[in-house]
Structure 1
């Protein structure tokens, strides 16, 4: 069998000439593959402009510390494509990845499909076939029409801070972009909302109200701050006094807050919450290379 690099290169030739955000191609391929998206371990779906990867890394650290097996899907990759697909805690192996990609290319045939769409379908196939306790899905672009947004009933959704990005696809204004991110909300499924601008929050709250989505919003249902070199988190369950995040940068405080709100909602204890902030690993993001 050809290597994953060769197959990934071949996939680029199927790419439509213009990016048109739609879920039609993803639904078509998933149907051909036997609907793996319906057989995923419980899904936590993360959208937003900033902090998606860090928030996901912290949630994963917390879930794994409490004994859970966790799938994780993230993009883009830094060095090797395999970084995008983590199966029950381990990066996908080269033989497994090559076989999956080959299977997806065969199922897709000559039909147009974007690189992200077909590789997302491959990730779903891997996740559906490997037992785990949770599946963490990071949105690639936007939310509403992102290839990851085909899971009908996630366990939880998360929207990290929204700012202006990818305007050619998502809209010119912050409320338009927030509307696209809020496209991951599902009827009745709770959503953790990180710090937002007032106009962004208004859009998210309006969509949540229409869909009967219980929000766990920063500033209303939870707070996070630093005090005397510690991270303090407070929600309706009470106060957590934790070490500062091991991921560097002041922005990691708010990311930690969203991760902690998610873990608390899932019923995880203080030890899991502490592991989330002390054990998360997110290489090459503000990583110190030498003293």
Structure 2
């Protein structure tokens, strides 16, 4: 008698259900949720997050704050880095393999042979897991956009959050900031408060107009709350007062914005004590993460090894600023990206702060940009020294052979980051 299939086998089976063309619609999701007896109606209070950058870090900070106050928190995020289980956190713990296998099996059976995207069917599975497990809160992060995202099925969340909106996924969300902001603002629900992170003026106008139509109380950065640094401390202020807190544990100036957004969200929910813990307890891999041990770290020897999964122009800009704020050290990039991304826009700001770039292809990814194309784009973006490597390990060897004490940053894609985390144990 053969063993029951594990979660990887069921996930592979789910991939075969994918429609021939991705058309953003909620019809397939509604059909499956009905077959599952509507788990989206039985969730603990939901905090729903959309945005281009910072969703994962902001969600991690909100979760850290709520858990520090003793609450149990479900959390859904994507994509995963090393294992699919990272996407579904039940009452604070990553879902176990037996629980995930059972969940996917039941969701797959309920869907039958009907076409549905991988993200849609796995989101339905996550919602079912959350409905069946006790907790005080549910954190839902959109996968793509907001209006037609598979997570946008909760009729009345407790709160919505829109992190900074920028250009990304234009093939699905629109070519302009206004169009993309309109899709992100699709998570707004009549009368439900929304915390809004710093935005380009064009994006903010769209969000404000949608909020006005729906009677949504907005808590917008620069109007209703402010965050800054002063003497190595995080200073947050809103109409209820001022908080003087330690800086976020997650590195980079953009994490100050994410921390402010998380604090604003927690205070909007009446979780003032949780707000004080949000920034300092959060952990989120592949967001300017310094790797401290593992085979790749040993290979790097005396070099610093860092990892970041940002992949659009705004992420490139904040990454460059983060590097400027680190102690001075020669910096070299190992970069691999997907062909759905604006590689030139991402690399241009980084060319100002890094001495060289080693281009790699992302292993096992059909949509990877070949290393030769990444190398060509890096030269165009202004990198003086550019080379290609067969893999990340080869790139690290090439850099440390020239400069043993370098700072090495592996960057360009969450998919590349996932491979690095797996390879590095």
Q: TM-score of the superposition, structure 2-length normalised? A: 0.68
1:276 corresponds to which residue?
278
> Which aligned pairs between 1:20-35 and structure 2 lie closer than 5 A?
20-35=23-38
Secondary structure at the counterpart of residue 123 of structure 1 = helix
1:112 equivalent to 2:115? Answer: yes
Task: Give 1:266 shift.
Answer: 1.1
2:5 corresponds to which residue?
2
Q: After TM superposition, which residue ranges in structure 1, 4 or more long, deviate above 2 angstroms? A: none
Q: Partners of 2:202 and 2:178 in 1: how far apart?
A: 6
State the aligned residue count.
290
> Which aligned pairs between 1:56-67 and structure 2 lie closer than 5 A?
56-67=59-70
Secondary structure at the counterpart of residue 28 of structure 2 = helix
For residues 58-98 of structure 1, give each alpha carbon's deviation from its aligned partner in whole angstroms, at most 9, with x where no partner exists.
00000001110000000000000000000000000000000
Aligned equivalent of 2:217, options 206, 214, 231: 214
1:203 corresponds to which residue?
206
For residues 139-170 of structure 1, give each alpha carbon's deviation from its aligned partner in whole angstroms, at most 9, with x where no partner exists.
00000000000000000000000001111100
**Relative contact order, higher structure (CA 8 A, sep 6+):** 1
1:225 equivalent to 2:228? Answer: yes
1:157 corresponds to which residue?
160
Q: Partners of 2:200 and 2:90 in 1: how far apart?
A: 35
Task: Give 1:273 shift.
Answer: 1.9
For residues 100-126 of structure 1, give each alpha carbon's deviation from its aligned partner in whole angstroms, at most 9, with x where no partner exists.
100011000110000000000000000
Larger Rg: 2
1:258 equivalent to 2:261? Answer: yes
1:124 equivalent to 2:137? Answer: no
2:239 corresponds to which residue?
236
1:90 corresponds to which residue?
93
1:74 corresponds to which residue?
77
Task: Give 1:274 shift.
Answer: 2.5
Q: Partners of 1:82 and 1:193 in 2: how far apart?
A: 29
Task: Give 1:275 shift.
Answer: 1.5
Q: Which segments of 5 or more consecutive residues in structure 1 lack a partner in the other structure? A: none
Q: Partners of 1:7 and 1:22 in 2: how far apart?
A: 24
2:175 corresponds to which residue?
172
Q: Which segments of 5 or more consecutive residues in structure 2 lack a partner in the other structure? A: 293-303, 305-425
Task: Give 1:269 shift.
Answer: 2.5
Secondary structure at the counterpart of residue 14 of structure 1 = coil
Q: Partners of 1:273 and 1:144 in 2: how far apart?
A: 28
Task: Give 1:127 shift.
Answer: 0.0
1:187 equivalent to 2:207? Answer: no
2:366 corresponds to which residue?
none
2:137 corresponds to which residue?
134
Secondary structure at the counterpart of residue 251 of structure 1 = helix
Task: Give 1:284 shift.
Answer: 2.0
Q: Partners of 2:269 and 2:190 in 1: how far apart?
A: 18
Q: Partners of 1:259 and 1:202 in 2: how far apart?
A: 22
Secondary structure at the counterpart of residue 224 of structure 1 = strand
